[in-house]
Each structure stands twice: as structure tokens, then as C-alpha cells.
Amino acid sequence: MLEVEGLRSRYGRIEVLHGVDLKVSQGEIVTVVGANGAGKTTLLRCLSGVQPVSGGRISFQGQPLTGVPAWKRPARGLTQSPEGRQIFGNLTVEENLRLGAWNFKDERVGKDMEDAFQMFPILREKRNLAAGGLSGGQQQMLAMARALMGRPACLLLDEPSMGLAPIIVQQIFDVVESLRGRGVTVLLVEQNAFGALRIADRGYVMENGRIAMQGAAAELIADPRIREAYLGI
């Protein structure tokens, strides 16, 4: 479904992705784990088209994404819940969700919003409040729900657990896992390697802008090098 080959990207003159190869198949949950600064966010920014690519290629559902502007990618089935939530703080929770379905005007929008409220009941309670007033965990839920409102075939999630209390992290990972049953393919970027690998099918370990290791999630969790470097065990 998503294929990345030799992807390079730079900030100004400094290259931070040095040829990344990665593949996500239909229906999978794939995670990219790695330390802070490894290039995970840059990778997702490239996939969504908000970051210039300086080499390599990305294809999605068999078609190259090269030259497709960021704003056209959600309509192709690729949406993202970005690092740091990036909710529309001056709009209400409901308006945030409605804008998530920007490309759609049919009745399914209401149904999808109902689904989102079922997934995250707290959002229903706060639906008419300004999103900027939500707690960090609630903002994360909103960011994910907003990305799901875009009816993604593949959802990109950037550090959904960052800075959240363990109980909220658990709730969010549960929801990510439940996406499997909804036919949404997931590419999950996390520093919380243990949490991510536990729900993923496959994983990639990213180090300094390169893929250092990859494999089935269960194998990676069992790998002694990973246990030492990323799981702190």
C-alpha cells in the first residue's frame, strides 16, 4: 500500500534522512521506533508532503506521490495525526472534526463523527468547547479522531503517546489496535518502543536518518540489542 525507497530529505543544507526504505502492506500496523532526533517526524512529514524530498521515491496505492501537493494527499487516502497534536485551538472540538472531513459533504460525515465520539466519549462531552482548552490527552484524541474523519486508507500517527499519563497512553494504543478491525492501515511512529511494538505487526528501528533494523514486532521485542537500547530492559 505504501512504499518508500531511498528517501532523502534535508533541512536547509543538513540532510536528516539518508535513504530510508520502508513498506507498509494493506491492513498492517507498522511502527517506526527510534530515539529523539532519529528522523521519524521528518519521514512522516515527507509522506504527507509538507516536507521537501531531496531523493528517492514514495508511492501510495500503486501511484507515485512525487509532486502531489500536501493538500491533495488526504483525498488519496493518506491522513496524519501530527507530532504535537496541532489541533485548531480557536475552533470547537466539533469544528475540528468537521474540518477533518474537509473533502467530504455526504451523510457519512455525521456517521463518522458519531464513530469518533464513540471511540473517544470525552470528545462528545466537550464537542462545543474550544479545542485549545482541552487537556493534552484530549487534544491527542482529537488529533487522531480528526485524521480518521478524513477516511484514511492509511493513517500516519506521530508519537500519539508523547507526554501523556500511562492510563491515557493505554487507551490510545487500544484505539490504534482497534483500527485493524476497521480496515485502516497504520504507520505508527513512536519513542515508546515497547508500547508500539506490542500492538504492531512489524517494526522498523530508525537511527540517525537510516533504518537500522527491521522485522516482525514480536522478534524485535525479543531482540537483546533492542531490549537494551530502546526498551530499557
Binding site for ligand ADP (CB under 6 A): 11, 16, 34, 36-42
Residue 117's CB is within 10 A of a number of other CB atoms, namely: 18
* Smallest separation, CB 3 to other proteins (Å): 21
| Region near Mg ion per CB under 5 A, out of 57-65, 83-91, 93-101, 221-229 | 83-91
The beta-carbon contacts of 165-170 under 8 Å, at least 24 apart in sequence, are: 165/137, 168/137, 168/140, 169/195
Query: Residue 127 is placed in which grid cell?
Result: 464537542
Based on the shown chain and the rule CB under 8 A, indicate whether residue 74 belongs to the binding site for other proteins.
Answer: yes
Q: Which of other proteins, ligand ADP, Mg ion, none interacts with 99 (beta carbon under 5 to 8 A by kind)?
A: other proteins
Judged by beta carbon distances under 5 to 8 A according to partner kind, the member of Mg ion, other proteins, ligand ADP, none in contact with residue 42 is ligand ADP
State the residue number with the nearest CB to ligand ADP: 41
Max CA pair span of the chain: 51
Choose one: 15-23, 38-46, 95-103, 169-177; the region binding Mg ion (CB under 5 A). 38-46
Among 29, 30, 32, 41, which residue interacts with Mg ion (rule: CB under 5 A)?
41
Identify which of residues 12 and 62 has a Cβ nearer to ligand ADP in the complex: 12
Q: How far apart are CA 123 and CA 188, in angstroms?
A: 22
Residue 34 CB, shortest distance to ligand ADP, in Å, is: 6
192 binds Mg ion (CB under 5 A): no
Q: What is the CA radius of gyration of the chain?
A: 17
Binding residues for other proteins restricted to 151-210, rule: CB under 8 A:
none
Binding residues for other proteins, per CB under 8 A? 48-50, 69-75, 79-80, 82, 84-91, 95, 98-100, 102-103, 132, 146-147, 150
